[in-house]
Amino acid sequence: MNILRKIRISRSDKDEEFYSAIKEIVGFKPKNINHYKEAFTHSSLKKINPNGGYPLNYERLEFLGDALLGSVIADYLFKKIPKGDEGYLTQMRSKIVSREHLNELGKDLGLITFVNSSVPNQNFGNNIHGNLFESLIGAIHLDKGYKFTEQFIYKVVIEPYVDIERLEGKITSYKSVLFEWCQKNKKKIKYSVYEDTGNDSLKHFSVKLFIQKELVAKGRATSKKKAEEIASKRAYYKFQNLIEK
């Protein structure tokens, strides 16, 4: 057997393994596996679609998946909660499709193991998990259409995780809760943000949160927004009894 023949067999085995893994995750037989390959192709590879000349990576599918996920969840909530007004329904949808929740879903499915990238997995931010989950939804839609996409979202998101009563009490932004509480009680709140990369290869930011000029919590993450939210969450639990009065 020549070298070229060995390479072909190796690639075929790898594709079959990927096909089987995707089939198990989505619950049906994919028709065009290339859609799913694109769903896990990172932009760092700088691949170009030979037919269209445009970048070939998961970012476009992520955009499509985000819109489809929001649409299916909106339709579900509209039918499930007939007395909910626009503001309430929007808030509930935001809780279900929050970045935190999507990241958890992506992690549960182990999607990062399929990423084809020139960047080591440990260098990705936490949002990679949610991004891949959305790109997978986009791939399902291109491969099988809206009905299969809807069924997948019901099976993976709505049926196991959507509990209306529990979601009503879920906080999506601890920073917003803290600001409202401080404004209501005439307390001064301030976030002090600074770069704190240290020995990490990725840029990090640290946050000090002050209420009434007193340091009450700290946070550190790969973005200012995340660091502020971490500090806010810690401060919330510190003052939870007062906030929830």
Q: What is the pLDDT of residue 52?
A: 72
What's the whole-model pTM score? 0.69
Mean pLDDT of the chain: 88
Catalytic residue IDs: 66, 134
Q: What does the pLDDT look like over 27-63, one tens digit per residue?
A: 999 999 999 999 999 998 888 877 777 788 999 999 9
Whether the CB-CB separation of 156 and 150 falls below 8 Å is answered with: no
Q: What is the pLDDT of residue 76?
A: 96
Confidence of residue 215 (pLDDT cuts 50, 70, 90): very high
Q: What is the pLDDT of residue 156?
A: 95
Place of tokens 């399902």: 140
Between CA 168 and CA 160 the distance in angstroms is 16
Q: What is the pLDDT of residue 161?
A: 87
Q: Where are the domains of the chain?
A: 7-168, 174-243
Topology annotation, domain 174-243: Double Stranded RNA Binding Domain (3.30.160)
Run of H or E including 217: strand 214-221
Please count the helices (runs of H) and the strands (runs of E) in the chain.
12, 3
Task: Report whether CATH 1.10.1520.10 matches the domain 7-168.
Answer: yes
Higher pLDDT, 161 or 136: 136
